Amino acid sequence: MNIHTVAAGGGSVLFFDGMRYRVGPDSAGANPGPASYRRGGPLTVTDANLILGKLPVFPAVFGKNADLSLDSAKAKQLFLDLSKDIQRATGKHKSPEQIAEGFISIATENMANAIKKISVQKGYNVAEYTLCCYGAAGGQHACKVADSLGMQRVLLHPFAGVLSAYGMGLADFRLLKDKALEQAFDSLSYTQLEEMFAIMQALGKQEMLAKSSTHQSIEFMSTIRLRYLGTDTALAVTFADKKTMLISFEQAYLKQFGFVYTGKALIIESLCLEVVVKNELVTQSAYLHNALQ
């Protein structure tokens, strides 16, 4: 899975640098958390959503006795203070709501651009896909992000708020191993590559078994990173016979760049091995029951 992260979550700190609005990369985290958490935290994306009316109902779990709701008055006051700073610097008056909306627009674009890095820039038409939304604050931004990307569908799982913890609990154990080669594709036979992967598998299995139960099954996923000679972009293809790998690479290259070279030598940049131990100790139903308690 291709993952790209961006600092645009609910705890991302909002500030004005004298010229423009900034969102993150600093985060208030869970403690002290956003200003509205009643722990003296800074203005964050959550505070912006709060004063825009996107959090009308929230558990009363804040304050010294954990019996108070979010402090919308504190968030509003900090946005008013920020409004004065912006007016002094730019000569323009902005209401707290206008400022909050501006910060949310920036956070939205940050998230949309992160998605583009693993879709549009890889040759995929993101508009053909469904935006999967998860996390406790995901629903506050999903529609705006989808609009920015031209996506027509958003998937909100019933357990979206706990999917990260749920997924971590159910995830297989994985180990990644790489071997740099930088050799011509035609200089190594399939058998030679297979022998290299066999050595990597033996080392990976030994390392994985030292960390997990010997009773669990182990799987290996082998890929090769190829690039054209004189270029710096390598694409991963599944290890197979050389003709199949060549076809897979050309298809992937054509999809990402819109063309392929003819008569240009291929370089094997590296061998990649993923060692996977199946998580057989946890059943989905049992783990989900415990996670939701």
Q: How many C-beta neighbours within 10 Å does residue 207 have?
A: 12
- Could you tell me the sign of the dihedral formed by the alpha carbons of 32, 36, 38, 42, in that order? positive
Residue pLDDT tens, the chain, 293 long: 677 777 677 888 999 988 889 998 888 888 898 999 999 999 999 999 999 998 877 788 888 888 899 999 999 999 999 999 999 998 889 999 999 999 999 999 988 988 888 888 777 888 899 998 888 778 888 899 999 999 999 998 888 888 877 877 777 788 889 999 999 999 999 999 999 999 999 998 888 888 765 556 788 999 999 999 999 889 999 999 999 999 999 999 998 888 999 889 999 999 999 998 877 655 545 545 555 55
Nearest Cα to Cα of residue 25 among 41, 9, 46: 9
Distance CA 24, CA 251 (A): 38
Q: Is the whole-model pTM more than 0.85?
A: no
Rg value, the chain, Cα? 25
The two structure tokens encoding residue 136: 């406790």
